[in-house]
Structure 1
Amino acid sequence: MVVVGSTNPAKLEPVRRVFAEVFPGLEVRGVEVPSGVRAQPIGYHETLQGALNRARAALAQPGAAWGLGLEAGVEFNGQGSWLFNIAVILRADGRWGLARGGSVLLPPRVGERLRRGEELGPIMDDLVGKKDTKKGSGAVGILTLSRIERMEFWRHTLELALPPFLRPELYPLEGVAYLFPDT
């Protein structure tokens, strides 16, 4: 069974689609688990830690053979505020995959609120006058006029985390404990 450390449909549906294509027949289930980081992770390392914490908690669920952690983060640099995402895939046999997805530049007024400690989802809700946009098109869908929806954003990141499972001969298990030593 594949367990995702989230019950958000915008995260679960891409996992269901990708795994149905690549590893047909596996049940995919979402569970609510803590990320162990801020509601809005800031920076690569905090976002990676949140994804890893979710993947580990998902893999620890009864019957789980795969654990997935999907976490969206925000970075700040000289050009502004950026939204990006990270997927961590852990398998019970010790094999793992990791990917950082694309990035989108956020509007300056969104970045200002993020710097004050607000979470991106509610900021985007306010911006467009809707509720729970993070369970649908998300910030990326809103900003691209739905040319790229949040589910597609996640799908690409999941696909990029798959090579260690698709080409295991190129990703030996030996010597990889440095990244995820407790896995």
Structure 2
Amino acid sequence: MELAVGSTNPVKSTAVERTLERYEPTVTAVAVDSGVSEQPRSIEETVRGAENRARRALAATDADFGVGLEGGVARLEGSPGLSLIMWGAVTDGDRTERGGGPTFRLPDTVAEQVADGSELGPVMDDLLGTEGVAESNGAAGALTAGLTDRTRALGQAVASSFGPFVTEYYDADD
């Protein structure tokens, strides 16, 4: 199975490889424009970024599927504060499926900076005294004390968006 991932971030390619390992995937990272802001700030914008990445990665390759992964932040009804959200999209060129990954409430000090316009990655780097947290354990790893990490969290978005292609419970027309 040939998969094109719409990002050159190695965490995203690894998330796809690990999550879909039973299908023995060949994963190609493709630099594409998400078509959304660097820090998506709603569920809608985050999903649109994942969809754009999936479609553009597929269009740039001869892969069987294009995969897009996007992290964003959003205020969720019924939940306090600002949350980190993760969405995935998978397309075979005819249909596109979407699925979410874990959601994490951001600490107030982080949420305030992001709400004021900062991007989450650099804010987390400052908090942790690191560089490139988005290409390692990510905010997910830091905010759960390692109970999960960015690769596993994004893997859940991959599984949720790829599931309809590999189970008989969905019609292609759903």
Q: TM-score range by the shorter chain?
A: over 0.9
- How far residue 32 of structure 1 moved from its aligned partner, in angstroms, is 1.2
Query: Residue type matched to 1:156 in 2?
Result: Q
1:1-183 pair list within 5 angstroms: 1-21=2-22, 23-24=23-24, 26-77=25-76, 79-92=80-93, 94-167=94-167, 169-174=168-173, 176=174
In the other structure, the counterpart of 1:181 is none
1:129-167, Cα deviation, whole Å (9 max, x unpaired):
100001000001011111111111011221122221122
- Determine if contact 1:95/1:164 at 8 Å carries over to the other structure: no
Contact 2:47 2:98 in 1 (8 A): no
Deviation at 1:62, TM superposition (A): 2.7
Distance 1:160-1:62 versus aligned 2 partners, 3 A rule: closer
1:19 CA displacement: 2.4
Deviation string 1:103-145 (CA, Å, 9 cap, x unpaired) is 1110111111111111100000000110000100000101111
Partner Cα separation in structure 1 for residue 19 and residue 145 of structure 2:
24
Q: Letter of the aligned partner of 1:137 in structure 2?
A: N
Shift of 1:96: 3.1
Give, as a single letter, the amino acid of the residue that structure 1 aligns with 2:166: L
CA 102–62 in structure 1, closer or farther in 2 if over 3 Å, else same: closer
* Contact kept in structure 1, 2:58 and 2:65, CA below 8 Å: yes
CA distance in 2 between counterparts of 1:47 and 1:62 reads 23
Report the residue type matching 1:42 in the other structure: R
C-alpha distance in structure 2 between counterparts of 1:129 and 1:163, whole Å: 37
TM-score normalized with structure 2 length: 0.92
Gap runs ≥5 in structure 1: 177-183
Give the TM-score normalised by the residue count of structure 1.
0.88
Please report the RMSD computed on the Cα atoms of aligned residues, expressed in angstroms. 1.4
Do the aligned residues in 2 keep the contact of 1:99 with 1:161 (CA within 8 Å)?
A: yes
Deviation at 1:30, TM superposition (A): 0.6
In the alignment, residue 148 of structure 1 is paired with which amino acid? T
User: Post-superposition shift, 1:12?
Assistant: 0.8
3-state SS, counterpart of residue 35 of structure 2: coil
Q: Structure 2: how far apart are the matches of 1:164 and 1:96?
A: 10
Gaps of 5+ in 2: none
Q: Matched residues in 2 for 1:95 and 1:53: separation?
A: 13
**1: CA distance between counterparts of 2:80 and 2:50?**
25
Q: Structure 1 runs of 4+ off > 3 angstroms?
A: none
Q: CA deviation at 1:173?
A: 2.2
CA distance in 2, matches of 1:66, 1:17: 16
Asked if structure 2 preserves the Cα contact closer than 8 Å seen for 1:96 and 1:164, the reply is no
